[in-house]
Structure 1
């Protein structure tokens, strides 16, 4: 496997260098992005930095006026964060599980992902971290729930704790202040596993619904659309009746979700398809309409047709154009609403953890960014909060941003880093 990874790195590096010739000079960003014409790649670009981690006091770089410290460390691939009302911080520790490779590209991708710590044995647990003395560093660590199936999203409604495993949503009884859950939980909804395996969750503001992001199995329906039934969607679970339905569809891989408080709309970040070029199409941030269709796999950025896919003209005609482009292949995963005043110098807006690309000639993402909002919509270019996750030559990843949340003190941000095995805390300097 290591030999395959090294060979892939050599071949992938050569392909990436060739494709940098004539590659777009600017990222496709904002509400009206300039999206380059698609260029079918044939052999897909495969470029993934080797996971290094943080050593000898090395930490991410902060925007001016901010500082960062490790809130929690020594985790096993931390992915997602949920802050409980009493200030306890829950962290889902999980990892993609390898499925039998079907093609040479599958072998190459899996070998590369292992070197990047993106695939392997999963801890399959949620840990609880408590900063009892309020110094910004958690000193109490407990196993909150274990023996799960690639746990990711979490939501607490009253005394009911909802957990998004890759194969469905389970619920546990929770008592305020508890440091662990008992029992195996009750399964409420089943989802198909594999492919885009994360299952993000968010509760509605009134506590009557739970929304879940369920990504596609494949890049563009490669195994047929029957295999994609129930996927590439955001689901809605009615917690009172237990009924579940697809809330919005055509979302290739909707991960983080957040509520915008002025309009009450649900927003999400979506990872778009591969194999059409460095900036084509861009990942995006968008509000989500009940019953809305967002194009996948037939089209992208509204009605731009992907001619690699057998078409459905009626669905393309009703495809909704996203609100805000985030650049090609940034792998924007984490999302939370940040009210004005949380961090000095930042107003209202969305914070986004960009996990970073693996399939473009010049890497993108690998940072924590902020998109300002006014009147319920994005209002300007993104601003960096944390950077420095990549070496200058793009060969090493010190960390990769994933889930984000407002800290218990409401004056800090928490961000999971699944390569550094750290939860970072950002505050004013």
Structure 2
């Protein structure tokens, strides 16, 4: 949906602000100074995080969305190969595999952010539009079926339509759950169906807009659902009341349909996954902007029941963000994350990869890094793997897919989002700029 303030203005206004974007972009590069990366990303369990350098104007840099030409694919790591499982989608964000092997993908674009008040708001909108990150949202879930087992989906159905910015999905005991931006919906499901047209019912409400995605993960015993709900803003600049019930992970009891906040202080927790040996819940979190290229890093962390992870008051444990009015009691309880993923990588997708699923890869987590906009040198735009031992990350990240970004950083061919294990044991990756679901296997 195009914000009303933009839709009421002509292309001439957008052209004016396009010129403004060029000017402000040049100014941002000149102003980044100590906030720029020193070439060493903040990674791992003990990252070196540069001192915060608050930016009067946040760095705004985003490649133009180009998409993939015929025969052009991401670059798979040695020993792996990649093919398009499905093309011609519209902004596929998340993937869910049904028990019969059908693959579902939710297709949606961002929610209307409301009235734009400043030149920077217009600059941000123009930049995001160029990157294919805003526009008319398809608001549907598409079903894909590989009938002959060749690794390409030959059958496609509109599984659900008319949804409100759908994202996460789960199927439990004949009920299909969808994480819409404004709530968790439940629908009756029949095995093998290619379409759900029944009226759903809402079993949990969430505030829409801002970080709009609502990831959904079933507990290992199927009795509960976990839902990631991001913040409205960067550092609660619209007030703390607007952030109530946000920046957290919810736990929903499916028997009583009561929900509670399982953990908070998580600015934008998107991907959710269980580590099978310990049963711990893990998430990837997008941290705040405007403090420098690597400050603070996005992260992968286990999530403790009742835990508080710092946002908006502090980051990476008790490192205070002095742009925010403080709450010392909460800061004192802030849990330090387990594993840094580098600054502004926009790590969104997350799934557990059992050892041997891909040749040469041990147990660990796969992460879809959507890619940065708030850095002088872009980061992310790749699919990575973090090895695990004894229930914890155990080494540096490894690339699985790269090549989503042009070498000069001017264009993005694609941007990876959701990741999951396919029905044939492959790795599936949603690419919302390339409009493709990629399939990764051994070479």
Aligned length: 428
Query: SS of the counterpart of 1:357?
Result: coil
- Cα deviation, residue 120, structure 1: 1.0
1:372 aligns with 2:387: yes
Between the aligned partners of 1:423 and 1:162, the Cα distance in structure 2 is 21
Task: Identify if the C-alpha distance between structure 1 residues 324 and 14 changes in structure 2 by more than 3 Å, giving closer, same or farther.
Answer: same
Aligned partners of 1:17 and 1:361 also within 8 Å: no
Which residue of the other structure, out of 32, 42, 45, is the alignment partner of 1:28? Answer: 42
1:323 aligns with 2:371: no
- Cα deviation, residue 25, structure 1: 1.8
- Cα deviation, residue 14, structure 1: 4.6
Between the aligned partners of 1:45 and 1:246, the Cα distance in structure 2 is 33
Task: Identify if the C-alpha distance between structure 1 residues 262 and 243 changes in structure 2 by more than 3 Å, giving closer, same or farther.
Answer: same
Which consecutive residues of structure 1, in runs of 5 or more, have no partner in the other structure?
none
Which residue of the other structure, out of 25, 29, 33, is the alignment partner of 1:16? Answer: 29
Structure 2 length normalisation: TM-score?
Answer: 0.95
Which residue of the other structure, out of 203, 211, 218, is the alignment partner of 1:188? Answer: 203
Which residue of structure 1 aligns with residue 431 of structure 2? 417
Aligned partners of 2:141 and 2:166 also within 8 Å: yes
Which residue of the other structure, out of 371, 384, 403, is the alignment partner of 2:418? Answer: 403
Between the aligned partners of 2:155 and 2:391, the Cα distance in structure 1 is 38
Task: Identify if the C-alpha distance between structure 1 residues 2 and 258 changes in structure 2 by more than 3 Å, giving closer, same or farther.
Answer: farther
Task: Identify if the C-alpha distance between structure 1 residues 86 and 9 changes in structure 2 by more than 3 Å, giving closer, same or farther.
Answer: farther
- Cα deviation, residue 392, structure 1: 0.8
Query: SS of the counterpart of 1:343?
Result: coil
1:171-199: CA deviation from partner (whole Å, max 9, x where unpaired): 00111111111212111011000100000
Between the aligned partners of 2:151 and 2:22, the Cα distance in structure 1 is 39
- Cα deviation, residue 238, structure 1: 0.4
1:73 aligns with 2:87: yes
Task: Identify if the C-alpha distance between structure 1 residues 17 and 142 changes in structure 2 by more than 3 Å, giving closer, same or farther.
Answer: farther
Which residue of the other structure, out of 35, 39, 60, is the alignment partner of 1:46? Answer: 60
Query: SS of the counterpart of 2:329?
Result: helix
- Cα deviation, residue 18, structure 1: 5.3
Query: SS of the counterpart of 1:44?
Result: coil
User: What's the Cα RMSD here?
Assistant: 1.1
- Cα deviation, residue 104, structure 1: 1.8
- Cα deviation, residue 9, structure 1: 3.6
1:316-363: CA deviation from partner (whole Å, max 9, x where unpaired): 000000000000000000000000111001010000000000010000
Which residue of structure 2 aligns with residue 426 of structure 1? 440
Which residue of the other structure, out of 188, 204, 215, is the alignment partner of 1:200? Answer: 215
1:149 aligns with 2:156: no
Which residue of structure 2 aligns with residue 384 of structure 1? 399
Query: SS of the counterpart of 1:76?
Result: coil
Structure 1 length normalisation: TM-score?
Answer: 0.98
Which residue of structure 1 aligns with residue 290 of structure 2? 275
1:92 aligns with 2:106: yes
Aligned partners of 1:9 and 1:47 also within 8 Å: no
Which residue of structure 2 aligns with residue 217 of structure 1? 232
Which residue of structure 1 aligns with residue 129 of structure 2? 114
- Cα deviation, residue 13, structure 1: 4.1
Between the aligned partners of 2:67 and 2:18, the Cα distance in structure 1 is 19
More divergent stretch after superposition (6-15 vs 396-405)? 6-15
Query: SS of the counterpart of 1:200?
Result: strand
1:7 aligns with 2:20: yes
1:226 aligns with 2:271: no
Between the aligned partners of 1:5 and 1:160, the Cα distance in structure 2 is 46
Between the aligned partners of 2:270 and 2:342, the Cα distance in structure 1 is 16
Between the aligned partners of 1:372 and 1:270, the Cα distance in structure 2 is 18
- Cα deviation, residue 381, structure 1: 0.1
Between the aligned partners of 2:378 and 2:312, the Cα distance in structure 1 is 24
Query: SS of the counterpart of 1:235?
Result: strand
Between the aligned partners of 2:148 and 2:19, the Cα distance in structure 1 is 47
1:343 aligns with 2:358: yes
Query: SS of the counterpart of 2:214?
Result: coil
Query: SS of the counterpart of 2:348?
Result: strand
Which consecutive residues of structure 2, in runs of 5 or more, have no partner in the other structure?
1-13
Which residue of the other structure, out of 288, 298, 306, is the alignment partner of 2:321? Answer: 306
